Structure 1
């Protein structure tokens, strides 16, 4: 029972951590949308997307490789990996800052807001490095409580700064940028001074480990960029092939899918250190069990939610986005998305496990295959049916292709079956639910 208690607590904190950023972030965006002129809000979104795209490089290059080689390693090896990851992250950040500096020196824009974006991008990107590395290390150490604190401090400070600017009637694009920088700077300084970032380990880096992290990271970057393009490809194709007004219709069910991303991000964050530790122990059976447990639990948990969402699609969209979208394609597209929700955890964990067992090139190939299937499916479907539904249906083939590729490549290295995933997932989830119910009854008796 103590192990089950630990598992439940870890899942709960990880879920809260994964939910904190999107929830607070959505609140901040809502406040800014209501209090900024459309042009200023658009400029801020452009800066945010630019930073997020750059973060995709950093996460791909540093995060997965750090967790893989850090979790479960000896204390000396962990220090070496942390220092080498710091060096890799710093070099990558300085390259981005140098490129941004050259653009700032030689590019002359007529818009002061564009110049502000170019001027502050590099400053903000280098400022966020300590907090980013700290979050990777905390995840590798399975210190999800501290990760939650880090997320809440970062997003909470930004929210407080924005609310203060609104109260003082000083909110503009430029002051929003200053607030973003201030929140990032304070958070990074906090991680440095309390030791979470482990910045002093940089002196323990070695050429061999730096090379090892960089070699692994180049495939992770390829996977991250391909994933970004996969998420964005439908948007670009719809904008190219249809009336721009239909982009909002398709965006709504896409946005709702982020609800399902929250438990998956929590599951991935919890599972990666466990998988890495099992690999360090050279225990492929344990790796397979961990993969099956998390992929199975998420799949089994999401199926009933997807069924309810399928049945209540009209109600959900009307409540969240208004009556004007109730009778559009958004409802049925949302229902089509619900048809492949059960493939998402399996596909995600096949990819993560390939990374952890040191096959990042296969995970990159998997995502590239999904990108090709999605783009080809979109164009073929639109050409034949001339409908938004064709784009949604193409996504079903996309995830099926990814899951199939992941299954056959992973089967060469681990022993498992799809039936195992559902069976173990069901029993694990049943055990957690039973434990929570028993704990609830015990708490009532104590009261």
Structure 2
């Protein structure tokens, strides 16, 4: 629950902050930081106020976890505010060495039960893509702010193109998750690209479409399969709808083809592999 509250705050601030801060003049950057402090503080105080009202009106709840959340979430978010702003600045300034230290300290255990294997895989995918997004946002924002559409298009293609469980539900869910991971980058990066090119309303519509698709296909999937596969397949439909809508909308401003994404991704992978081979050869000779 605390992570959800922090994500809500980040959703209001982070993307807009990085987009405006990257490539800005020192004066403009200072204005962006100051505005972000004010907006973040207002959101945090609002959450603190809501928690206080809930505590006074409802009192103690039967769920001890909810009690802890209501009592301490607002205070915790308030104490985390300097860290939140600091990590946003590090991300915008592309200081990923320092940002990595912070992120490592914040990692937690993955989900368990039947979704364990699939969830662990998707956690890795989300971490990798999340790290790529953190890297991509400043460079994409800088290219867009410099009116370099060709560079923006190239960067977007570059970032997007990047026995125990046999015959069990976990293995099948893993296969579905692998399929989901193929289209997830297009959905994720099209979303941040829409924000960066000042199309937040389009991105919001994209989110609403995905929510609607998820709800509809959850019901259809559960009714048709009567098991957890229906929900997992609904996730593919959800991400696919977001990826398609985002892809169509991005192409109105930036020419982007799936073939170009794949080609650029393959070339980038080859480049990374070659760099890795060179590094290991140099280490082995030393």
SS in 2 for 1:266: helix
Cα deviation for residue 351 of structure 1 reads: 1.1
Aligned twin of 1:181: none
Counterpart check, 1:137 vs 2:89:
yes
Aligned partners of 1:393, 1:151: CA distance in 2, in Å?
31
Aligned twin of 1:253: 118
Aligned partners of 1:329, 1:112: CA distance in 2, in Å?
31
Q: Deviations over 1:58-79 (max 9, x none)?
A: 1011111110100111111101
SS in 1 for 2:17: helix
Change (3 A) 1:116 1:370: closer
Aligned partners of 2:184, 2:207: CA distance in 1, in Å?
13
Aligned twin of 2:36: 85
Q: Select the residue among 196, 220, 236 that pairs with 1:396.
A: 236
Aligned twin of 1:408: 248
Aligned partners of 2:276, 2:152: CA distance in 1, in Å?
26
The answer to whether the 8 Å contact 1:249/1:330 transfers is: yes
Structure 2 alignment gaps of length 5 or more: none
SS in 1 for 2:55: helix
- Aligned pairs for 1:8-47 (under 5 A) are none
Aligned partners of 1:128, 1:416: CA distance in 2, in Å?
39
Cα deviation for residue 80 of structure 1 reads: 0.7
Aligned partners of 1:104, 1:76: CA distance in 2, in Å?
42
Instruction: Give the superposed CA RMSD.
Output: 2.3
Aligned partners of 1:409, 1:375: CA distance in 2, in Å?
23
Task: Tell me the TM-score normalized by structure 1.
Answer: 0.59
Q: Select the residue among 202, 205, 222 that pairs with 1:362.
A: 202
Structure 1 alignment gaps of length 5 or more: 1-48, 159-246, 298-313, 318-325
Aligned partners of 1:345, 1:444: CA distance in 2, in Å?
35
- Aligned pairs for 1:368-447 (under 5 A) are 368-445=208-285, 447=286
Max Rg structure: 1
Counterpart check, 1:276 vs 2:141:
yes
Cα deviation for residue 335 of structure 1 reads: 1.4
Q: Deviations over 1:184-222 (max 9, x none)?
A: xxxxxxxxxxxxxxxxxxxxxxxxxxxxxxxxxxxxxxx
Change (3 A) 1:249 1:147: same
The answer to whether the 8 Å contact 2:161/2:263 transfers is: yes
> May I ask how many residue pairs the two structures share in their alignment?
282
Aligned twin of 1:148: 100
The answer to whether the 8 Å contact 2:117/2:171 transfers is: no
Counterpart check, 1:293 vs 2:158:
yes
Change (3 A) 1:426 1:97: same
The answer to whether the 8 Å contact 2:19/2:138 transfers is: yes
- Aligned pairs for 1:25-424 (under 5 A) are 49=1, 51-109=2-60, 113=64, 115-152=67-104, 154-155=105-106, 248-250=113-115, 253-297=118-162, 314-315=163-164, 317=165, 328-424=168-264
Cα deviation for residue 401 of structure 1 reads: 1.5
The answer to whether the 8 Å contact 1:249/1:328 transfers is: no
